[in-house]
Structure 1
Amino acid sequence: MGGAGAARDAKDGEFLELVSGRAGHLYRSACLLTSGDTHLAEDLVQETLGRMYVLWRRSAWRSGRSAAIDNPGAYAHTVMVRTFLAQQRRRSSTERPTGDVPEPAGHESDSTLRLTLLDALGRMPARDRAVLVLRYWEDRSVEETAEVMRSSAGAVRTRSSRALARLRTLLGDSLAELAAR
């Protein structure tokens, strides 16, 4: 009985190591996916980590008996994006919380640029947002993005191209003005 408890503690320690190493990156990606809504981003990361913990407890793949998951950190990102997309499909309405964004303090141009980009991402469909975050924030290949989004590489290329065009349309001249500062 003591051996099972020690093994469980070792698994928990390994999981905590994974979480401490990847939580920040997961949170930053989640912020982009949720268009800067930090509360939704925190919920998304918690949901992802909860799902990963269930997998971790099963742990057959961690000991090398299954080649399905070679990289737990990358798999956590995959779980997060799929969770985000599933949540977007389940939303009963397209309600968006509104509120005035406080004036940025210091580094005005950088903060303004960031807020402008987050606002534009927020006005895009969830799948477009996901493909932009995966391809250009996480720097994943077309094939990796296709695998995460469960679509073909051609569909990812098309969606990436169209999503970038939509983003440019949404930003209009504001991006050039902000970047010039």
Structure 2
Amino acid sequence: MRDDERSAEFVAFTRAHRTDLVRTATLLCAGDEAFAEDVVQTTLTRLYLSWSRVRRADSSLAYARRSLTHAFIDEARRAHRRRETTYADPSDALPTEPAAGGTDPELREIVLAALASLGPRQRAVVVLRHWHDLDVAETARILGCSAGTVKSQNARALAHLRGVLGAADHHLILEVS
């Protein structure tokens, strides 16, 4: 394949799927948009360098999501990584996603904080299983682990989220009272 054909295919893929990748990365990064953009750029670089494998895959988007998830986990696990904490305007919707009528900015902030309280692999399981609605087997394939690991990570993550979101809900009820 010639380089200009390869580049044209990659650009077309990026234009078609970048929004999806940014949304997924934003959830994986618990709303940290700068970190999400870094993960997407790392992923796109990796995809470009291995484009011949990507184009042979059954689904280039599935391949990209797998690469994105691995890039996120790699970056999140780096012990030496020191991140600045930035606080975005909580009324902002997820990037490139139109704000839904009646969107509650406080609820959005609570949900993103709850996601942030999960470890990287648990967060990846929750995003893949519940945002992308992937089955256990596909999630396990993407994460490179067993179906049992996906099930246990999902159960632990959901129990944790229920506790965090239940406490936040109780806090909101007390504030309104």
TM-score scaled by length of structure 1: 0.81
Structure 2: which 5+ runs fail to align? 93-98
| Aligned counterpart, 2:152 | 158
Deviation at 1:98, TM superposition (A): 3.5
| Aligned counterpart, 2:33 | 38
| Aligned counterpart, 2:15 | 20
Deviation at 1:73, TM superposition (A): 1.0
Question: What secondary structure is seen at the aligned counterpart in 2 of 1:172?
Answer: helix
2:66–2:142 contact (8 Å) kept in structure 1: yes
- Residue 118 of structure 2 is aligned to residue 130 of structure 1: no
Larger Rg: 1
Counterpart CA distance in 1 for 2:143 and 2:90 is 36
| Aligned counterpart, 2:68 | 80
Question: What secondary structure is seen at the aligned counterpart in 2 of 1:124?
Answer: coil
Counterpart CA distance in 1 for 2:42 and 2:128 is 19
- Residue 66 of structure 2 is aligned to residue 89 of structure 1: no
Which residue of 113, 117, 121 corresponds with 2:111?
A: 117
Structure 1 residues 116 and 60 mapped into 2: Cα distance closer, same or farther (>3 Å)?
closer
Deviations 1:125-175 (A, max 9, x none): 111111101100111110011011111101101110110000111112434
Counterpart CA distance in 1 for 2:66 and 2:53 is 19
Residue identity matched to 1:97: E
Counterpart CA distance in 2 for 1:115 and 1:174 is 11
Deviation at 1:89, TM superposition (A): 2.1
Structure 1: which 5+ runs fail to align? none
1:113–1:175 contact (8 Å) kept in structure 2: no
TM-score scaled by length of structure 2: 0.83
Question: What secondary structure is seen at the aligned counterpart in 2 of 1:97?
Answer: coil
Which residue of 139, 145, 152 corresponds with 1:145?
A: 139
Counterpart CA distance in 1 for 2:142 and 2:20 is 17
Counterpart CA distance in 2 for 1:84 and 1:101 is 20
1:146–1:152 contact (8 Å) kept in structure 2: yes
Which residue of 149, 156, 165 corresponds with 1:171?
A: 165
Question: What secondary structure is seen at the aligned counterpart in 1 of 2:133?
Answer: coil
Deviation at 1:102, TM superposition (A): 3.9
Which residue of 46, 54, 57 corresponds with 1:51?
A: 46
